[in-house]
Structure 1
Amino acid sequence: MLAGKVAVVTGAGRGIGREIALGMAAEGAAVIVNDIGAALDGQGADASPAQQAVDDIHAAGGQAAASYDSVADWDAAQRIVQSAVDTFGRIDIVVNSAGILRDAIFHKMEPAEWDAVLKVHLYGAFHMSRAAAPHFRAQGSGSYVHMVSTSGLIGSIGQANYAAAKLGIAGLSRSLAMDMSRFGVRSNCIAPHAFSRMIESVPGASPEEKAANLEKRRKQTRADQIAPLAVFLASDAAAGVSGQIFGARGNEVYLYSQPRPIRTLHRGDGWTPESLAAQLPAAWKSSLTPLERTRDVFGWEAI
């Protein structure tokens, strides 16, 4: 499905990014495997994860090259995209999968924790998307696939920085889809469920709960189950699909709604704070979105 195409996949040394890179290579794409090889909090660097993914693609008969630049840096993102053009002659697909975590309950979150996460996720998605945009525009085609999260779409505890970044990416994708549609370019998001090292670190479960559920959920929600959706969205088979948010969990795929007005109140002589207080809470009580976490919304087991 991706024969003749060139993809850049960020965060592709491990987890979901790695499986997407392998999946795209298996469908014929030449892949730039980008990963600095940092720890989960973004510290350090290790070339081996990206190189191992490249080696595995080569062993399967595919084409790939490694990139170790950081998406958090504007100039580095330019080099990542240029490496695709220099190595394989063009660029057709950008998958924004690179990410880090700096979880903290909000009243204890430090500015450095906020900045680090937004730099990799939100700024990284912008840097990579913007670097590819002139190439996509010139050739009249291209596809962006961004990893978002239910932490932003639904809610999570102790992840204000991550949630804000991921919901920001959803807005970025929607704008890309609109701005770039005249050039034949599409942009979509995936909110993945897969028990990678990032998901396993999310707060909210006790050590006992994690131990009891970990092995089962690792088998039910795997990173390789996300890759088919990403491959499809990057392919010409998804030519009519843009500006959407999808989910993938186990063998399920689903489409998210996006914010639209659901209730209205009109008052001919206008509103005051007092009249709003008298009417709005009772009128809209049943329609207010509850403070739920992802596990509250997804009340069924993945199969």
Structure 2
Amino acid sequence: MKLFNFYVNGHIHLGVLQDGTAHDATAGGYPAIPATMEHALNETLSLQALETAAANGPVVDVETIHFAPAVTAPEKILCVGLNYAAHAKESHMELPKYPTLFSKFSNALLGHKEAIRLPETAEKYDYEAELVIVIGKEARQVSKEEAPDYIFGYTAGNDFSARDLQLRTTQWIMGKSFDGFAPLGPYIVPAREINANQLQIQSYVNGTLRQNSNTSDLIFDPATIVSYISQYMTLKPGDVIYTGTPSGVILGYPEDKQVWLKPGDTVTIKIEGIGELTNTLTR
């Protein structure tokens, strides 16, 4: 089962992909409530109820619909830096003792196949394939053992970055939170249906493989991340956490081989069991 958001006449509907067929769960209703992703994330409707709503809704073609971000209104978009051992090595940085956290904002959210518009105020654009945690229950000071119960599911993300602005100061936010710099989706897979600690994760630029790793190389796994963050701030349903990127980003190349992304390039993030997230760059 996979959940996704898509646009219908300017409104966001919830889609459910099951056994190769996608249905509009919002149009189906349950029985009088139009199902939404928010209903799923705050457990107003169970996954079984969403399946029922989808069964009553029309079939949709995932090849032609306009996808919205997998989560459209998170209270928090948190990101973990340097969370793959090989990536920390290529960045010439020591392995962190604690998760390195930074944030993006909701203006950065972008859907599958939507264009990333590159601003004129930066030059060094880079991709980052990431597994993304979607929170499903309010989490405050939970243990690592309890943390999986607070994770609704997982999706794919691209922590798109302007490296020249990211590294201009010790604070990364200027290079991380331009409009459209947080592609997310297209699908959320419920946590019960996937082993997030053993997933192949890849990125492609114009069809050429750039990153190829496994979430088993994460320094801090999803349960550790959720538990750690919850000690300091309350996580809410719909919050998303980008868990870090593996080796293979442009920043990790020798300086004389760094060819930064440009308008016309297409970046695809592929995560085993979740799907592919593709965006083309434009001005």
TM-score where L is the length of structure 1? 0.27
Q: Per residue, is there more helix in 1 or in 2?
A: 1
Largest Rg, 1 or 2: 1
